[in-house]
Amino acid sequence: MKHYLAKSDGETIVEHTCQLIANLDELHTLYPTINVNWELLRLACLHHDLGKMNPKFQVKVHQNKRTIEGELPHGLLSTGTIPNKKLRARGYSEAEVKILNYAVALHHERDMSDITTEDYHRALDEMKEVAADFPYAALGMESCTIKPVSKRYFKINTTLKPSTIENYHDYVMLKGLLNRLDYAASAHIPIENPNDFLEDSLAQLHYEWNDLQQYMTRHQEQNVVVVAQTGLGKTEAGLLWLGKAKGFFTLPLRTAINAIYQRITEQIVTTSHDNRVGLLHSDTYQQYLLFEEKSEQMMDIDEYETKTRQLSLPLTICTLDQLFDIAFRYPGYEQKLATLSYSKVIVDEIQMYSADLLTYLIYGLKLITDYGGQFAILTATLSPYILDLLVREGLSFEMPSTPFLDETLLHRHEVEVVSEEISIERIVAHYNKNKLLVICNTVRKAREIYDELSDIINSEELYLFHSHFIKKDRTEKEQAILKFGQVDNTSSGIWVTTQVVEASLDVDFDILFTELSDLNSLFQRMGRCYRKRAWQTDVGTNVYVYTGGKKRCSGVGFVVDKDIHQLSKEALNSVKGRLDERMKVALINQTYTLEKVEKTSFYHDVANNLAYLKLLIEGQKDKKDVQKQFRNIHSYKVMPKPVYEANRLHVEKLIATLKRRHHKELSATEKKKLTKEKRQARLMLEQYQVDIPAYLFQKGEWVGVEITPYETLLLFECEYDAEKGLSLIIDDNPKTNNIF
């Protein structure tokens, strides 16, 4: 065979491998201090795809087939091209040669459990017959002798896990970076874009940096944990800490992530976004389309998203699950951890995470720092027990002796704690063409409050926002509340919401009515009221906290840990009137000590999860299982039946597009066009869908509409309203209050 193809699009093995080498050189130039054996990585790049010479693979790509009977993974066959004896003679240790073979053999995660030694030998014999004419010289290589790898360096069909290899750390770095280089070459994107802009972009703001921001600049080389009052510029502080490094900025809520991305791209890094700043969560592509439309900038959205998902951009704003699924060490996690080994990670509002997510975060930070990466935790409140957990896991960090507070905005809130359920009457009494924010712990409670207010308040002045809206309506709600909540917006009205508004959302209301969740959550909610305004005498009480009285607040015992809630409730007994920033810090420090919290079910969950992660065997969980467990997803994506009926023609057109197949007679350009059309159709279809919890799905009725043989659209029987969202008559079991 004259043409040794690597891809069905005509790219040869030599062309693809040369691109890996070019990527390696670029990576080495940008980040020369990465803790990897660069020469071993070069060898991995040269050999990783030589197994594609085998005749079955060549028939497959020449005929554009997806599979061919009897074909073995090309990574496994590539081990037959590695000159192990010569490498040992050149001074490479046995451990180094072993991790080279493992990295090459496993650079794609393939099931090899049924492959026998005889299968492997037979496939190598077949490869020898077609490999004689391979242009090794084009790769700067001598012609190689193809022979089976010794069991000393790789064992066929065993239960041996790479984690048992000596120098496992080096294996993770080698395989992880090989994957990065390989995927970037296949996507024809840069392995990395340099961070040669961030410091200049920040300097051009001409701000006088405050104490927090100066502290972060001075401690660029250390891990840091910092408590700072809302409104002090934590975003800029985090970016100053990043400096010229590659960085990831994580936040708990997608709404807040979108807002931070918008703020950074509009105010700080205002040009070349597709090479500089990425947004990474489940709706990345849709957000990029919206961004392009709003900014009127012409960008290759497909390439922009590819660079984002391949972690090639110097600054990425993302959700926790996009990075910290590494805690499960699933097959393929190495490329992510290897990238984080030379990156800085900013964690915003750590106190908002549930017990399982907090566990994955802490364990993930330990992995990242063990491999050379850095972290900064920036938060408005921080429970002492979290610091104890960080220290117990061996994480070292710098932390200022006192929180950063704005002396001009210490007193923003006058609080009344009410030992009863949230009061409609008081909300109405305090509404006087101002901005009122009502925050409930659950969707169900928010809908109840909204319905009661609807009988009294003009519908044009009343809004509802929670997670049970289809994506199209939820996006509109997010944009509406951000616009409404700006200080210079003179609109008036009442927004009834759940915790979707709780963190990092730059909105400012006049009065807050909220159910008690816990103190951390409460103080986050208070940050949406008088966000950047000092309290004045004529303001009066501007925060009303309802603790439920004889009844529990909604969600307590399910989405809100009942023990943590009780500790919070007891702490508020001493609160009446002024609650300034120093008092908030003191309450947190007094309430959430390790001594008090370690008796709660929340802390037990954290401890048990940490123990589980430490016992977990590398590769034991596959990525799909990890995604479900990590995100704590027990939900179904559905289309409300009324939404389907109202948009039937459009939905059917979208499904028809998704059913179209890539026929052989289509040209490469036509295939690319169809792929993009199908992708856009899927995104548009998702605009009519909503994620609902499993318990709610199981209580309702649904019918399935086939999209593809592997995918079904679930039409859910329920009521749906663009103002109120999805509703279904369900029982009074407290566990039905579990969605935010």
Mean pLDDT of 710-727: 93
pLDDT at 683 over 80: yes
Beta-strand relationship, 719-721 and 725-727: antiparallel
Tell me the three state secondary structure of residue 494. strand
Which range among 11-25, 158-172, 299-313, 376-390 shows the weakest confidence by mean pLDDT?
158-172
Handedness of CA 578, 581, 585, 586 (dihedral sign): negative
Identity of the residue numbered 298: M
pLDDT at 740: 27
pLDDT > 70: percent of the chain: 96
pLDDT at 113: 82
Q: How long, in residues, is the chain? A: 740
Mean pLDDT of 22-51: 98
Q: What Rg, from alpha-carbon coordinates, does the chain have?
A: 28
Q: Please, which residues have CB within 8 angstroms of residue 589's CB and are 6 or more apart in sequence?
A: 384
Mean pLDDT of 316-331: 93
Residue 706 burial (C-beta neighbours within 10 Å; 0-12, 13-18, 19+): exposed
In this predicted model, what pLDDT tens digit does every residue of 635-653 receive, in sequence order?
788 999 999 999 999 999 9
pLDDT at 157 over 80: no
Cβ atoms within 10 Å, residue 448? 17
Phi-psi region of 188 (alpha: psi -120 to 50; beta: other; left: phi over 0): left
pLDDT at 737: 30
H runs (alpha helix) in 556-600? 562-571, 581-591, 594-597
pLDDT at 628 over 70: no
Mean pLDDT of 101-120: 91
Mean pLDDT of 54-66: 90
Q: Are 225 and 399 in contact (CB under 8 A)?
A: yes
pLDDT at 159: 55
pLDDT at 259 over 80: yes
pLDDT tier, 142 (very low <50, low <70, confident <90, very high otherwise): confident
- Rounded CA separation 618/102 (Å): 14
Residue 33 burial (C-beta neighbours within 10 Å; 0-12, 13-18, 19+): exposed
pLDDT at 731 over 50: no
Mean pLDDT of 324-333: 92
pLDDT at 497 over 70: yes
Look up tokens 């509009």; give the residue. 266
pLDDT at 611 over 80: yes
pLDDT at 555 over 80: yes
Mean pLDDT of 26-54: 98
- Rounded CA separation 194/547 (Å): 50
pLDDT at 736: 32
In this predicted model, what pLDDT tens digit does every residue of 174-230 receive, in sequence order?
999 999 999 999 999 999 999 999 999 999 999 999 999 999 999 999 999 999 998
pLDDT at 500: 87
pLDDT > 90: percent of the chain: 74
pLDDT at 156 over 90: no
Tokens representing 580 are: 């300034």
Look up tokens 């502290």; give the residue. 215
pLDDT at 144 over 70: yes
pLDDT at 549: 84
pLDDT at 431 over 70: yes
Q: Are 195 and 278 in contact (CB under 8 A)?
A: no
pLDDT tier, 733 (very low <50, low <70, confident <90, very high otherwise): very low
pLDDT at 730: 47
pLDDT at 23 over 90: yes
pTM of this structure: 0.91
Q: Are 37 and 174 in contact (CB under 8 A)?
A: yes
Which range among 607-611, 666-670, 706-710 shows the weakest confidence by mean pLDDT?
666-670
Tokens representing 47 are: 């050999």
What is the strand order of the sheet 246-251 is part of?
A: 224-227, 374-379, 343-348, 246-251, 315-319, 277-280
Q: Please, which residues have CB within 8 angstroms of residue 411's CB and are 6 or more apart in sequence?
A: 534, 535, 578, 580
pLDDT at 51: 97
